[in-house]
Amino acid sequence: MKLKQVIFGWVNYFRISSMKEAIKRIDMKLRSRIRVIIWKQWKITRKQIKSLIQLGIPEEEAKGLTFCRKGFRYIGLSKVVQRAISNKRLKQRGLPSALEHYLKVHTVI
């Protein structure tokens, strides 16, 4: 709820300027960080594997990502997590898209 308020307020404040590409980059980074937060909430490797399998990822891919020794940034940007926690799923959970809202409220002077 708080994140939604901040996104809408920020986009509404800057709606006059032409910053479509900047909003797109910010939106991508924000979604990546949200995926990392969800990944961190799963904590235990068994929970991570189980959750990825429930989201439609094959078991071998889930184990490969779970036992990967790279950092959270790599995991947030990985294609496996992006398929499992897609933009559509994030939207269903209530995370608005800053780009969609910007395109809706953008006014040209």
How far is residue 86's CA from residue 72's CA, in Å, rounded to a whole number? 17
Supply the pLDDT for residue 60: 94
Looking at residue 78, what is its pLDDT?
Answer: 92
Q: Give the span between the Cα atoms of 54 and 57, in whole angstroms.
A: 7
Alpha helices in 1-109 (DSSP H): 2-13, 20-42, 45-54, 59-66, 72-77, 79-84, 87-92, 98-105
Task: Decide: helix, strand or coil at residue 17.
Answer: coil
Count the domains in the chain. 1
Mean pLDDT, 10 residues at a time, over the chain (109 residues)? 90 86 92 93 93 94 91 91 93 90 81
pTM: 0.84
| Residue range(s) defining the domain that contains residue 89 | 2-105
Predicted pLDDT of residue 14: 83
- Burial of 59 (C-beta count, 10 Å sphere; 0-12/13-18/19+): exposed
DSSP 8-state assignment for residue 70 = S
